Structure 1
Amino acid sequence: MAKGWRGLLEEESEHQWVAISGFFVFILLGAIAIQGTSSLPGVDYRSDGLEAVDGRVLDIVYGDSGSYTAMVLGDEGGVMFHYDDQGDARDIGADYEDILGMTFMTQLHDGSIVVSPSNNTLEVIHVKSENLQRTIVPLNENQESFDILDVAEQANGDGYHWLMATDEGNTSSLRGFGNVATPLQPAQAAFGGATVTAAMVNSDDFEWNMVEALDDGTWIATGLMANTFGADENSPAAPLKHPVIGFISWSAGPTAPMLTSIEELERGEIHSLIKLENGSLLAAGTDSAVHIALDGTMTDVEVSSESVALDEKGAVWMFGSEGSTSIVRMREGIPEKMPLARPLPLTVEVSGVSDDVIYAHGNNQNGETGTYSIDTLAIGSIESGRGFLNFLFFTASSIVMGVMVWTAFSRMRQNQ
């Protein structure tokens, strides 16, 4: 190829336009080919839930090397199991009376999982221990009864504080728990000095369901707020509910958490509250999302989603409903649409990341379960179609430009 271009360039000047025109045609065709491969690479889809247990994935927490802990609704009801990095699955929910009634699995700082199998009870599953040891943490034993809807942790110098979203029977609220020492084993040393606070007051108009730590002593809670002044005309007794973000202050001691301010959203439902690499939070919803900075500044992100996942490089992946033609990747607060070669084949309910691969679990319009995965390292790599064409185009262009420059210098030296 290089020899042919050199021959054309060394002929009379009236032939040189052929070489130049050919080069520009090559650039145009290369650009069209690269644009044609602009869809997201590294995508895979399989029509089942999980390899270990098939069924609808209700919740999942991923660990290293493809390990995970999951709650799944199968043909025989709800099951909870741990799949380790050796490929072995172990049922860890056989002793739980109501797996389907468990609303959360929170991954703690050491990789352990905390759940609430019954009222006034937390259970820490040490998934990295040899025998999957567990620690049962009773709260307010023989006193007020409450259900735990979510748990978040926050470092506090010599230990950790936990904030819980709770169902108090007639209303939802928030309670603090701490100080939890580290490491989390042995149990007596970790939890022996921890106490639970009273429920937060002034929560009658709120339905809190998710919590996350923001900064030292500051937390974020999300849920729904009833607006008695905006009741449905067809049912005046049933007030409208809309999403709300609450700023919570609680740092230590028996004092109950305090609601310091709220931000009301007009539409949608907040389905995810995730902590980003820099410590800020993203509240993602079905209508839009809100970024919450460490200083409390809130910024609207006009992206709707059904589920989100944070990859290992700090980017947020936002999945829409079934039939979506793109997925949004947000890096450093800037959303970017990633076109799909084929429409999204399912509505994602839960998602997570392990070893740079995003796993999104959900159901299609026929109620069939499926798993959609994205290899985040494939974007721009030589293995992807776009990456290969970029490499080929750069190599060929370099050769052609090199021959042109070499020929030009040779002609200049001959004319001297």
Structure 2
Amino acid sequence: MASGLSRLLEEESEHQWLAIGLFALFALAGGWAVSATGTISSLGNAPVTAAWQGHDVLDIAMLDAEWDLAHVGIVVDPQGPLLYLQENEGQEGVTLITRSTVPERLLDTEDGVWWDAGNGVLQGCYVDGDEVVFQQSLSGLDQGQAVDLVLAEDTTNVLGWLLVADGQSTSAVAYDGLGSNFTAVSAPEGVTWTHLERFDERHLAAIGWRVAATPGQNPAQPEMQAWITVIQVQDGTMTKLQSVEGPLGSVHSTASFDDGTVLVATEENAVLVDSDASTTSLGVRSSAAMLADDGTVWFAGSGDSTLMPRWMDGTLDTERLASPLGLAVTSAESDGHRWVLFGTNGDGEHAAMVLDVDQNASPLSGRGFLNLMFLVVGTASILGIASTWWRQSTV
């Protein structure tokens, strides 16, 4: 075999060197193509058929429906704020819910989308097949407005726990849907809670902000700092356990992981918080963050950013954008598969972008497709050259 190989290398075979030359060109072209497509291919402008188009978006909550972007939204149009439902594309799919009692926030839960309708009533909706089902429940609130809701998982005594804003004060209270009055727990002095997340069946995270104790700051424009309070829950009883400082900045995104940790993200940093109030810094600045169904956390930067950080399996890496983000993000919403970013573009106009996380992770799109093709064709070429060499070396 050795003599055959020596003879093969010494021979001037037109087909042999043509095959080697073509494979070298394929390798160079494939490497360039993989590098050129090493950007996020599933980020683009949101469809103009969505009712939020051209408006200032205050809050959006996605619905599990046939149309990927079905949602309930709070926007501001030239006539003022309004609450609406959009279940299909175009204006024919839009239903105006109210202009008179528009809530401050939507309560996005596993049981559909809810909102505070005032007078101690929560209203909501979900999609069942082709039908949108509206529902109503009693919040038990005599004053204030519900701004967040975590549903209970393993108790029949309460349906969940509400985060309530009443003027300058915030509190958390149990909720059973029957209008019962439970004892609330108030935010620590100087703290305003804005989000409520679940650690596990017995612990919640009340997340908000307070004025940072940064020396030398301007009293007229104080710097904010995230603040997280661990709350123990037992049916209708809530007990504050301990609080911990979060990163500087105001909280723009929170999320609960399946492992019992909670994500808290501000403009300056993001941390993971455990129910014992221990924190892990991720070291990433962002304007929005989302938790995908596969456990990956995506972060959006500023309008001129060309990278999109991603926290996956305990590691922070970055994905390149094909061009600068081009959007000053003011709010965002996700269903775990699609991430919708709202804000203003370079011309100061309202705009929205959508990132399809599932498509980006697919091996059949963009860089993944080229990687797959490079592997298949490269392997086939190597096998073909090896087969030719074997036949000629044994002659």
TM, length-normalised to structure 1: 0.79
Instruction: Give how far 1:23 is off.
Output: 3.6
In structure 2, the CA distance between the partners of 1:31 and 1:273, relative to structure 1 (3 Å rule), is same
Aligned residues: 380
Distance in 2 separating the partners of 1:161 and 1:17:
74
Name the CA distance, whole Å, in 2 between partners of 1:202 and 1:61: 26
1:250 is aligned to 2:233: yes
- Residue aligning to 1:196: 181
Contact 1:232 1:238 survives alignment (8 Å): no
- Tell me what 1:6 maps to: none
CA deviation map 1:175-218 (0-9, x unaligned): 3223x3xxxxxxxxxx23x5333342573221112111211221
The equivalent residue for 1:188 is none
Contact 1:272 1:308 in 2 (8 A): yes
Contact map agreement 2:164 2:173 (CA 8 A) in 1: no
- Go from structure 1 to structure 2 and tell me whether the alpha carbon gap of 1:407 and 1:39 turns closer, same or farther (over 3 Å shift): same
**Aligned residue for 1:222?**
207
Q: 1:49 to 1:359 in 2, by over 3 A?
A: farther
Q: Equivalents in 2 of 1:356, 1:149: separation in Å? A: 24
The residue aligned with 2:293 is: 312
Q: Structure 1 residues 25, 159: CA separation in 2 closer, same or farther (over 3 Å shift)? A: farther
Pairing 1:397-416 to 2, within 5 Å after superposition: 397-414=378-395
Rounded Cα–Cα distance in structure 2 between residues aligned with 1:167 and 1:388: 49
Aligned to 1:74: 77
Please give the per-residue CA displacement for 1:372-411, whole angstroms capped at 9, x wherever unaligned: 1122233364653423433442343223212221122213
- Note the alpha carbon deviations across 1:139-176, whole angstroms, 9 max, x for none: 254xxx3343333223233364433333344x523232
Question: What is the aligned partner in structure 1 of residue 190 from structure 2?
Answer: 205
Instruction: Report whether the alignment pairs 1:57 with 2:38.
Output: no
**Compared CA separation, residues 148 and 40, structure 1 to 2 (3 A):** same
The residue that corresponds to 2:28 in the other structure is: 28
Superposed, 1:287-298 pairs within 5 Å as 287-293=268-274, 296-298=277-279
CA contact (8 A) 2:292 2:336 kept: no
Choose from 373, 384, 393 the match for 2:374.
393
Counterpart-to-counterpart distance in 2, 1:202 and 1:353: 27
CA contact (8 A) 2:144 2:164 kept: yes
Aligned residue runs from structure 1 range 261-300, under 5 A: 261-293=242-274, 296-300=277-281
Q: Does 1:93 align with 2:98?
A: yes
Q: CA 1:49–1:159 in 2, change beyond 3 Å: closer, same or farther?
A: farther
Q: CA–CA distance in 1 between the matches of 2:135 and 2:218?
A: 50
User: Is the counterpart of residue 177 in structure 1 residue 174 in structure 2?
Assistant: yes
**Structure 2: how far apart are the matches of 1:230 and 1:224?**
14
1:81, 1:93 within 8 Å by CA — same for their partners in 2? yes
CA contact (8 A) 1:232 1:240 kept: no
For 1:124, the equivalent position in structure 2 comes to 123
SS in 2 for 1:156: coil
Q: Distance in 2 between matches of 1:208 and 1:379?
A: 34
Amino acid at match of 1:407: T
2:4: which partner in 1?
none
Q: Secondary structure at the match of 2:152?
A: strand
Cα gap change, 1:45 to 1:109, in 2 (>3 Å): closer
The Cα of 1:287 is off from its aligned counterpart by 0.7
SS where residue 234 of structure 2 aligns?
coil
Q: CA RMSD in A?
A: 3.2
Structure 1 portions without partners, runs of 5+: 1-8, 181-190
Q: Deviations over 1:258-300 (max 9, x none)?
A: 3221111352221111123444321111111111245654211
Partner in structure 2 of residue 364 of structure 1: 345
The answer to whether the 8 A contact 1:212-1:274 is kept is yes
Q: Is the 8 A contact 1:267 1:287 kept in 2?
A: yes
How far is the alpha carbon of 1:85 from its aligned partner?
A: 4.8
Quick one: which amino acid aligns to residue 173 of structure 1?
Answer: T
Structure 2 regions of 5+ residues with no counterpart? 1-6
> Any idea what the Cα deviations from partners look like across 1:219-243, whole Å, max 9, x if unmatched?
111112246x6575664x9976422
Shift of the 296–24 alpha-carbon distance from structure 1 to 2, 3 Å rule, reads farther
Partner residue in 2 for 1:151: 149
Q: Is the 8 A contact 1:55 1:369 kept in 2?
A: yes
Paired with 1:202 and 1:83, the residues of 2 have a C-alpha distance of: 35
How has the CA–CA distance of structure 1 residues 232 and 137 changed in structure 2, closer, same or farther, with 3 Å as cutoff?
A: farther
CA distance in 2, matches of 1:413, 1:307: 64
Q: Which has the higher strand share?
A: 2
- Evaluate the alpha carbon distance shift between residue 252 and residue 377 of structure 1 in structure 2; reply closer, same or farther with a 3 A threshold: closer
- Name the structure 1 match of 2:354: 373
Distance 2:139 2:293 in 1: 34
